[in-house]
Structure 1
Amino acid sequence: QQAEMTAANAGDIANLGFVVGSKCVAVIDTGGTYAVGRALHQAIRRVTALPVCYVINTHVHPDHVFGNQAFAVEEAQFVGHVRLADSMRRRGPNYLGALQRDLGTAAEGTTLVLPGLSVAGIERIDLGGRRLVLRAWRTAHTDTDLTVLDEKSGTLWLGDLLFVGHIPVVDGSLRGFIAVSGELKHVAAKRAIPGHGRAIAWPAAIIPQEQYLGRLLADLRNALKARTPILVAVETIPCDREDQWQLVDRFHKRNVTAAYAELEWEQ
């Protein structure tokens, strides 16, 4: 869903899923709390008794990784971007503190479970007649972004490298996010699953995101050329196609702030 984690939604806001092969199961993201991860694990058990062999995290944000603990009962390998483990170590304590503060009892049992298997480029894993292609990307939405392509169904799991409805969020690099968005369009897939929101046809799904990020880049470069102070830029740079996006008030100004700091070194 297009929302921040709250006690009301119990941290269940991200797209989670699993792929079943003839030998085992791969989980793709685990949710924002132990309870969400446990519900996902129970859903898998209603479908298959095959073991979970891989738990794949698409990036560091807590709504995608804090359900990992629910899969500790499985002899699974936890998988992520080559920088994910370090990022979880650095950010995890603050994320966990905020989770406990904001969600209260809904956060009970939630702990950090770091990946043991890292992906630096492209890796392929076989679930038994079902192969997944894992790809680590340069810094974009975050510096830990990983995609998963299910070759059999043509489904591309993008995590938060794709925003549909929810305004794109820059927690890594604006220039990198634009570059990666362009590269992603060349990935052959039938459908895309964003980090939040519905599955959607690919690659047309990424066009609105590219437009938003491209306009933000152009506006910021113009502001920096005019020596516009950051506080003025934050208040005056508009959100491109604002009526198409949700959570604009929460994230657009944050994007301007983050990207301003990145781009001012170009000048």
Structure 2
Amino acid sequence: MRILLSLVLLMISPLSQAQAALTVEQVAPGIYLHFGEHQLPDRNNHGAIANIGFIIGDQCVAVIDSGGNPQQGAALKKAIEATTDTPVCYVINTHVHPDHIYGNAAFKAENVHFIGHYKLARAMVTRGQYYIDKAAEQLDIELTADNLIAPDMPVKKHMTINLGNRELVLTAHRTAHTDNDLTVYDKKTDTLWLADLLFIDHLPVIDGSLKGWLAELERLEKQDYHYVIPGHGPLVTDWPAAMQPQKKYLTLLLHEIRAMIAQGKFIEEAVKTVGRSERQNWKLFDQFHAKNVTTAFAELEWED
């Protein structure tokens, strides 16, 4: 059963400077999560749409994703301070997408290390100026390069950090959701923080490799976990059953796009027809499905 602890905190709105509430829930002993909403990032939510949170050890706190804007990062920091006197030692970014990294600057301090996939720094550099340019227009927030803090502890394959009587195993994955996906496994509670390698109810979004993502899911579903935390959606207590709708959707894309390529069909037709049977099963389908088909088609048309 989920242990509920709601903390109402202050967060300054980039638009109105009004007070807003940020809640965190203790979803497993020492693991606290703020649940995002299934929304497009926009000027109303200011990009604060993802699941973010923290894990508390005897000596250190590890932040897992810092939020979709600097103010949410500050609110998450206040949530930690209201929960524990244990200092933050690590900020772990699970991948480069804005809803997971824009709160980083709130945690910048001399004794805080930033951790990410070894390809995350390059992704931040590649996308950084675009992110900064679009933040004001799309999210109504002001960003500078200082908000995009690259990892000083990159993970090539695996890394274990100890928070004090609590070990976290960090894994850098092959290209899947993105080319810089990182997951966090808490040994103490048998919890896998899967981040955006798992979407529940929200349509999965491909920004990396369809085949790579399916390969990672097939490997992960062979493991047993007591809890799994998705990047978007509720806490999972029935792994791997909860992952099957996402696997089904991605597998359908794979098979239908391959069939169209074999028939000599073009990407424009694929966008109109592929995967449409899944439309009623996902939130934000219309917003992301066409991009998924386009990305997957570009990948599959060059496979051997």
TM-score, structure 2 as length reference? 0.84
Give the structure 2 partner of residue 87 of structure 1: 123
Give the structure 1 partner of residue 163 of structure 2: 127
Contact map agreement 1:174 1:217 (CA 8 A) in 2: yes
1:213 aligns with 2:236: no
- What displacement does 1:126 show? 0.3
Selected match of 1:173 from 205, 209, 228: 209
Once residues 276 and 225 of structure 2 are traced to their aligned partners in structure 1, the CA distance between those partners, rounded to angstroms, is: 29
| Paired AA for residue 128 in structure 1 | G
Residue correspondence of structure 1 range 229-240 to structure 2 within 5 A: 229-240=266-277
SS in structure 1 of the partner of residue 222 of structure 2 = coil
Instruction: Considering fraction of residues, name the structure with more helix.
Output: 1
| Paired AA for residue 45 in structure 1 | E
How many residue pairs align between the two structures?
266
| Paired AA for residue 59 in structure 1 | H
1:184 aligns with 2:239: no
Runs of 4+ off more than 3 Å:
106-110
Once residues 149 and 285 of structure 2 are traced to their aligned partners in structure 1, the CA distance between those partners, rounded to angstroms, is: 31
For structure 1, the 5+ residue unaligned runs are: none
Give the structure 2 partner of residue 241 of structure 1: 278
Q: Deviations over 1:22-44 (max 9, x none)?
A: 11100000011110100000100
Give the structure 1 partner of residue 175 of structure 2: 139
Selected match of 1:228 from 248, 251, 265: 265
- What displacement does 1:140 show? 0.3
Once residues 136 and 222 of structure 2 are traced to their aligned partners in structure 1, the CA distance between those partners, rounded to angstroms, is: 40
Give the structure 2 partner of residue 161 of structure 1: 197
Residue correspondence of structure 1 range 1-267 to structure 2 within 5 A: 1-73=37-109, 75-104=111-140, 106-107=141-142, 111-201=147-237, 202-266=239-303
Once residues 50 and 238 of structure 1 are traced to their aligned partners in structure 2, the CA distance between those partners, rounded to angstroms, is: 47
For structure 2, the 5+ residue unaligned runs are: 1-36
- What displacement does 1:241 show? 2.7
Identity of aligned residues (%): 48
Once residues 67 and 251 of structure 1 are traced to their aligned partners in structure 2, the CA distance between those partners, rounded to angstroms, is: 24
Once residues 35 and 107 of structure 1 are traced to their aligned partners in structure 2, the CA distance between those partners, rounded to angstroms, is: 10
SS in structure 1 of the partner of residue 192 of structure 2 = strand
- What displacement does 1:197 show? 1.4
CA-based RMSD: 1.4
Identify if the C-alpha distance between structure 1 residues 74 and 3 changes in structure 2 by more than 3 Å, giving closer, same or farther.
Answer: farther
Once residues 265 and 134 of structure 1 are traced to their aligned partners in structure 2, the CA distance between those partners, rounded to angstroms, is: 32
SS in structure 1 of the partner of residue 154 of structure 2 = strand
- Highest relative contact order (Cα 8 Å, sep 6+), 1 or 2? 1
- What displacement does 1:240 show? 4.2
Once residues 170 and 240 of structure 2 are traced to their aligned partners in structure 1, the CA distance between those partners, rounded to angstroms, is: 18
- What displacement does 1:2 show? 1.0
Q: Deviations over 1:44-64 (max 9, x none)?
A: 000112211110000110100
- What displacement does 1:251 show? 0.8
| Paired AA for residue 218 in structure 1 | H
- What displacement does 1:101 show? 1.2
Identify if the C-alpha distance between structure 1 residues 146 and 225 changes in structure 2 by more than 3 Å, giving closer, same or farther.
Answer: same
Q: Deviations over 1:106-135 (max 9, x none)?
A: 446772111111111111110001111100
Once residues 301 and 166 of structure 2 are traced to their aligned partners in structure 1, the CA distance between those partners, rounded to angstroms, is: 46
| Paired AA for residue 65 in structure 2 | D
| Paired AA for residue 112 in structure 2 | A
